[in-house]
Amino acid sequence: GAVVSQHPSWVICKSGTSVKIECRSLDFQATTMFWYRQFPKQSLMLMATSNEGSKATYEQGVEKDKFLINHASLTLSTLTVTSAHPEDSSFYICSAPFSGTAGNTIYFGEGSWLTVV
């Protein structure tokens, strides 16, 4: 079945550095992918829509210069957290829609834990 994979699963970085998280659709193409953020014991909040070959669309309140999104191919979107600070520590998870004979489903990656120290 359709699978979405994220890498890395866990990352610890120093304050002020940048971290890149990858989201791949493994056996299907995704012209659009979505990035969410989840704080402990909370729900998922949509950060941005990643569009293949064009600029990402950010949700209100999300800093586009801080959370850089690049969707360079039909199977890969990347989220770069620039100049990370401890308050950026969170669980980041991506999703990709898949249209098959059974209908339209949306699959999620395994998520990436970011800890900024």
Partner 1 sequence: GEDVEQSLFLSVREGDSSVINCTYTDSSSTYLYWYKQEPGAGLQLLTYIFSNMDMKQDQRLTVLLNKKDKHLSLRIADTQTGDSAIYFCAERTGGGNKLTFGTGTQLKVEL
Which residues bind to partner 1, rule: CB under 8 A? 6, 32, 34, 42-44, 46, 49, 93, 95, 97, 103-111, 113
Nearer to partner 1, 70 or 91 (CB): 91
Nearer to partner 1, 59 or 82 (CB): 59
Nearer to partner 1, 28 or 108 (CB): 108
Least distance between partner 1 and beta carbon 38 (Å): 9
**H helix or E strand, kind and range, residue 46:** strand 44-51
Nearer to partner 1, 78 or 95 (CB): 95
For residue 74, the 8-state DSSP code is: T
Least distance between partner 1 and beta carbon 69 (Å): 15
Least distance between partner 1 and beta carbon 83 (Å): 26
Least distance between partner 1 and beta carbon 80 (Å): 20
Give dist(CA 57, CA 51) in Å, integer: 8
Strand partners, 96: 107
Give dist(CA 43, CA 92) in Å, integer: 12
Q: Are strands 112-116 and 10-13 parallel, antiparallel or unpaired?
A: parallel
Residues 6+ apart with CB under 8 A from 1: none
